[in-house]
Each structure stands twice: as structure tokens, then as C-alpha cells.
Amino acid sequence: MSTPTNPSPPIEPDQTRGAAAFHEVQQSAEFGELRSRFRRFAFPLSIAFLVWYFLYVLLSTYAVDFMNTKVFGLVNLGIILGLLQFVSTFTITWLYIRHANRNLDPIAAKLRADLEGRI
């Protein structure tokens, strides 16, 4: 019977110092602000998108006559609302990139520089 081996390498002093520095940064007010800004943006927008998505699914399942309403030619309301799903996805992506560039990335860059200076 063989003895089990530990797959993780031994912890070096630099790793311990790095873990302590990361823990300090994680407990800082700036990191809390970064998390808060991300959550204030991501959670409401995610909920809004999920509501919009499930509304589309429910309408297409239970309001077939409404979705079949002709808008022009062979284009009905279901097609337009389906295409708006793509538009809303791209819009949310663009809004997140803009939000991250303005509100998240500067704080993250400062935290990273501080952390790299401590290790």
C-alpha cells in the first residue's frame, strides 16, 4: 500500500507574503468600493435582462396571437421582439464596457499596482 502524496507544492516564503498582501488588499476600502460599483451595475442590469428574456419566452409561449400581430409585410411582433433580444444584448455589453472603463478599471489598476508593490 502506497502513501498518498500531497499534489500541492510546499509554500514558499514569497507565496506567504503574497497571500498576506492579497488579503490586505481584499480587506481595503478601495477593494470594497470596486466590488460595490461592479455589483450596483451588474445585478440590476442582469435582473432587467432576465425579466426581458423570460417575458419574451412567456409571450411566445402563451400569447401566440399577440406575437403573430403583423407590423408590416410578413414581419410580425414576435420577429421584432426577438431581434430586440440581440440589440439589448449588444447594448448591455457596450454599457458594461463603458462602465468598466470609467468606474472599475482605474480602481483595479491602482489595486494591482499596490499589490505588485507589496509582493
What are the residue ranges spanned by the domains of the chain? 15-118
- Structure confidence by residue, pLDDT tens digits, 96-112: 999 999 999 999 999 98
Yes or no: say if 82 and 56 are a contact pair by the CB < 8 Å rule: yes
Cα–Cα distance list, 35 to 28, 47, 107 (Å): 11, 18, 10
- Structure confidence by residue, pLDDT tens digits, 55-110: 999 999 999 999 999 999 999 999 999 999 999 999 999 999 999 999 999 999 99
Helix (H) / strand (E) element for 70: namely strand 70-72
The pTM for the full model equals 0.75
pLDDT at position 21, please?
80
